[in-house]
Structures are given as structure tokens and as C-alpha cells.
């Protein structure tokens, strides 16, 4: 875990400004943000946690609809960009915290909504599962966990193979720059360094194992999907 945290902090410290520009202008990423917000069903009374907030593409849209947001990211540079972007937009209900997701500790049943957008695929698989369990424990009864992310597996089924082939085709059309990205991303995919996506079905299984109910997943764009689940409400009987 320590090695992965150090790597992510180093990578995103360097890439913060580039990500800020890319994430705001990429149509696919914008669609995922929109679906996460739709599935989150935000309300003005909600206390929200965003895991892997980046420079605020999700939080700046969500903040006017909720009471407060704790925005968490491994990169100090990302948090600074987020707070600068929030200030420029006149948004004042976001608290930024430069903390690895894997080391975030919150009180049980202290928040109403946990969201994440295009961040958790960077975690090791065991840390993905643990993060889902932790997030479920933070939620008040009736609270929701919503994860939008790169979701595909290792090519074991037709859906995975089509997603991988589509990514290959789109990059190949870009010429030498795209060919280089095919090589770079292919190595990452094979050795599972930096990016470690898993299938939507595995995310659904993690939500269910954490005790969440009404768990559902939906594909948004080719490689990305959103999975949602709710913490059961305790029965008043007995």
C-alpha cells in the first residue's frame, strides 16, 4: 500500500494542472460526472465525502446541491487546485483534505453520501474492497455510495474484449501519439501498475459484500460505468 500511495502522490502532483484541463473538456468524463450526480440524488441537508476528488470536476457541480463536502485526494497539488477553483466559482462549502483514500478514517454513520469519480481504479484490488466496506460504515442508514469509474476486467468475457478493442481502435486512429499510448497503457494493463480497473460485476459484488442494498450498475460510456448502493434503514420493529 505504501509504495502505491507514494507513486500516486508523485504522479498526480505532476499531472494536476493537465488533469484539471483534460477532465473539464473530455466529453466522456463529463457524462460520467453527470451520471454520478444523477444517481447520488443530492439534497441540501446532505454531508458528502468525495474519494479522489481531483481538481473538483464533480464537487463544483455537487456543492450547490448539498450542505457540505469533504473532498479527499492523495495529491496536495490537486487539493490546492480544487480549493482555488472553488474560490473562483464562489463555492465555500468544500473542505479539502490531502490524504490517501486508503488511510482515510471517519466516524461511523457520520455522512449521507459518499461519491467517487474516476479515482478508485488506481487502488490495489484489496484496497478497493476495503474502501467500499469503510464507505458503507461511514454512511448513515439510507445513505448512498456512488462510484463512477473505469470498469472493465481482464478480457475474460465479450464485454471486456469489446471495451479493450474499442480503446485500441480509438487510440490507433490518433497516429504516432496514439500508438505510444497503446504501448504505455498496454504495459500498465498487463502489469497492473498505476491503473487497475475491474469489471462492473466485481464492483457490484463488492457493494453487496459490504451490506449495501439496491445495488445496481450501468454503463455510461465505453470504458466507464456507475455503480450505486444504499445503506439499509434499520427496522423500527422490536
Closest CA to 101 of 122, 87, 83, 85: 122
In this prediction, residue 154 has a pLDDT band, given cuts at 50, 70 and 90, of low
Any domain includes 237: no
Judge contact between 82 and 21, C-beta under 8 A.
no
pLDDT beyond 90 at 192: no
Q: Which residues pair with 230 in a beta bridge?
A: 144, 213
Q: For the chain, how many structural domains are there in total?
A: 2
Q: Are residues 128 and 65 in the same domain?
A: yes
Range with the largest mean pLDDT of 12-16, 120-124, 166-170, 176-180: 120-124
Q: Label residue 108 exposed, middle or buried (CB < 10 Å: 0-12, 13-18, 19+).
A: exposed
Same domain, 145 and 173: no
- Quick one: 94 exposed, middle or buried, by C-beta within 10 A (0-12, 13-18, 19+)? buried
Which stretches within 67-199 are classed as H helix? 76-88, 125-138, 158-172, 176-191
Task: Return the closest-CA partner of residue 74 out of 149, 23, 1, 143.
Answer: 1
Of 15-19, 152-156, 177-181, 184-188, where does the model show the most confidence?
15-19
Cell representation of residue 77: 497539488
Q: Give the pLDDT confidence score for residue 142 in this predicted structure.
A: 97
Q: 137 and 23: one domain? A: yes
- What confidence score (pLDDT) does residue 141 get? 98
Task: Say how many C-beta atoms besides its own lie within 10 A of residue 13's C-beta.
Answer: 13
Do 74 and 90 sit in the same domain of this protein?
Answer: yes
The count of other CB atoms within 10 Å of the CB of residue 201 is 15
Domain for residue 236, yes or no? no
pLDDT of 169 > 70? The answer is no
Q: Is the domain of 6 the same as that of 115?
A: yes
Share of the chain above pLDDT 70, in %: 84
Q: What would the pLDDT profile of 86-141 be if each residue is shown by its tens digit?
A: 999 999 999 999 999 999 999 999 999 999 999 999 999 999 999 999 999 999 99
Do 101 and 69 sit in the same domain of this protein? yes
pTM of the full structure: 0.86
Q: Do 173 and 205 share a domain, yes or no?
A: no
- 52 and 71 part of one domain: yes
Higher pLDDT, 193 or 227: 227
Is residue 84 located within the same domain as residue 189?
Answer: no
Q: Once rounded to an integer, what is the mean pLDDT over residues 35-62?
A: 97
Q: Are strands 139-150 and 224-230 parallel, antiparallel or unpaired?
A: antiparallel
| 121 and 218 co-located in one domain | yes
pLDDT above 90: residue 161 = no
Domain region containing 11: 2-151+197-230
Amino acid at each position: 500500500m505504501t509504495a502505491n500511495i507514494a507513486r500516486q502522490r508523485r504522479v498526480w502532483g505532476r499531472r494536476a494542472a493537465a488533469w484539471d484541463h483534460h477532465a473539464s473538456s473530455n466529453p466522456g468524463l463529463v457524462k460520467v460526472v453527470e451520471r454520478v450526480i444523477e444517481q447520488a440524488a443530492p439534497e441540501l441537508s446532505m454531508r458528502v465525502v468525495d474519494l479522489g476528488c481531483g481538481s473538483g470536476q464533480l464537487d463544483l457541480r455537487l456543492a450547490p446541491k448539498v450542505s457540505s463536502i469533504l473532498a479527499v485526494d492523495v495529491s496536495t497539488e490537486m487539493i490546492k487546485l480544487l480549493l482555488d477553483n472553488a474560490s473562483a466559482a464562489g463555492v465555500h462549502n468544500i473542505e479539502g483534505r490531502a490524504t490517501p483514500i486508503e488511510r482515510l478514517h471517519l466516524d461511523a454513520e457520520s455522512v449521507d453520501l459518499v461519491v467517487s469519480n474516476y479515482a478508485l481504479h488506481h487502488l490495489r484490488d484489496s484496497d478497493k474492497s476495503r474502501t467500499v466496506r469503510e464507505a458503507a460504515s461511514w454512511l448513515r442508514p439510507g445513505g448512498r455510495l456512488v462510484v463512477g469509474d473505469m470498469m472493465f476486467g481482464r478480457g475474460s468475457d465479450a464485454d471486456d474484449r469489446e471495451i479493450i478493442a474499442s480503446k485500441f481502435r480509438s487510440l490507433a486512429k490518433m497516429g504516432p501519439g496514439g500508438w505510444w499510448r497503446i504501448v504505455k497503457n498496454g504495459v500498465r494493463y498487463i502489469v497492473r501498475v498505476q491503473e487497475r480497473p475491474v469489471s462492473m460485476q466485481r464492483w457490484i459484488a463488492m457493494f453487496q459484500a459490504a451490506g449495501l442494498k439496491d445495488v445496481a450498475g450501468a454503463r455510461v460510456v465505453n470504458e466507464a460505468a456507475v455503480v450505486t448502493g444504499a445503506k439499509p434503514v434499520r427496522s423500527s420493529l422490536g
